[in-house]
Amino acid sequence: MNQTDIKALRANPMYRYLLLLAIAAAVGLQGWRTLFNNFAVEEVNASGFHVGAIQSIREIPGFLSLLVVFLLLVVKEHRLAAFSIILLGLGIITTGLLPSFEGLMITTFLMSLGFHYFETTNQSLTLQYFSNQQSPHVFARIRSLSAATNIGIGIVIFFLAQLFAFEINYAIVGTFVVLCGIYALTLNPVDDSLPAQHKKMVFKKRYWLYYVLNFLSGARRQIFVVFAVFMLVEKYNYSVQEITVLFVLNNVIAYFFNPYIAKGINKFGEKKMLTMEYTSLIIIFAAYAFIEDRWVVALLYILDHIFFNFSIGIKTYFQKHADPKDIAPSMAVGFTINHIAAVVIPVLGGLLWIMNWRIPFIVGIGLSILSLAFVQKMKKS
């Protein structure tokens, strides 16, 4: 993209709107995630099975993303995005107030409902409002800005964790998120000239590859989100401060690297970029399982996070081959498919973890091999 295209992109009200909500979502999710494992271990005395069960509950709202299609019958999509952010914040505020396994199940569900419904509408609005050339840059910009936000909230939590109890930290993070969502409700970034979206379920045979890749991506992602971090805390005894430092370093790298992912997609195409991702993940998961070194595992976690961002290629590939009116309902369907395995894998992985901590990562190798095979089915754009 040249400077003129970049200026036009930044002048789009929807671009600024999505960036605002993406910042709020990043603050909320990263704040919750940074505190979660230590909160679960130190305050709730959670085991690997408990953590897996809670993470499965966290993914149920993603599975219910299909309901977004019906919510759009009564509320505009951009407003649903703002309401979702408010719900995310409320779920985070109440997390620290209920330090029990049952409490974590309830507050995790509420927080996750807000986050997943925002992500569904965020992806849909991005594909609707921006061209094939623009959308990879918008996705990458949102992820880069989210990474920068993660750095900021990581630094804040690094110091707040030494000053306040978990419930105070959760309250601070959640209140900021709620206020961002309320402010977004006062804005109107809508372009009425765009094609009206179908407000019904859309499930088409010609989108089969999009559905399969979403399913495999969701399954693989859960092993990274749930068990990579839990391994750092339980097996390698990382503290809140050490996890925070790792998150900050992770996001510094992601902030600078994400724009190159967008450029790579536009230059080389989704097929080559996703082939690189899944080939690398096979190696990373094998190293997770068989290299037992505290610092090597931290490096693998950073690499894992970088390659996870290549997944925007699944969405941009869909945009290039889909009917423009199918975008909103198809994002809801895709998000639901992405979370089918996500509801099962954390709790099943928790049981496998108890048997042998290496097994979830070996499963990740298999999922990456399958993903690599299906990516070869992509057509040239």
157: confidence class by pLDDT, cuts 50, 70, 90 = confident
pLDDT digits (tens, 9 = 90+) for 233-279: 888 888 877 877 887 787 788 888 888 898 888 888 899 999 999 99
231 is written with which tokens? 């391994």
Q: How does residue 284 score in pLDDT terms, banded at 50, 70 and 90?
A: very high
Residues 232 and 297 sit within 8 Å (Cβ to Cβ): yes
| CATH fold of the domain at 10-187+199-375 | Growth Hormone; Chain: A; (1.20.1250)
Q: What is the pLDDT of residues 187-234, one digit of tens each?
A: 988 777 676 665 666 778 888 998 999 889 888 887 877 788 778 888
pLDDT digits 0-9 by tens, 68-77: 878 888 888 8
C-alpha neighbours within 13 Å on the C-beta side of residue 164: 15
pLDDT on residue 381: 58
The residues spanned by each domain of the chain are 10-187+199-375
19 vs 223, higher pLDDT: 19
Residue 179 pLDDT greater than 60, yes or no? yes
* Ramachandran region, residue 195 (left: φ > 0; alpha: ψ -120 to 50; beta: rest): beta
User: What pLDDT, on a 0 to 100 scale, did the predictor assign at position 201?
Assistant: 66
Residue 2, pLDDT > 80, answer no
- Quick count: other Cβ atoms within 10 Å of Cβ 16? 12
Q: CA-to-CA distance for 138 and 142, rounded, in angstroms? A: 6
Q: Is the pTM of this model over 0.85?
A: no
Distance CA(64)–CA(44), nearest Å, equals 27
| Mean pLDDT score across all residues of the chain | 85
List pLDDT tens digits, range 42-84: 887 777 778 777 877 887 887 787 788 788 888 888 999 999 9
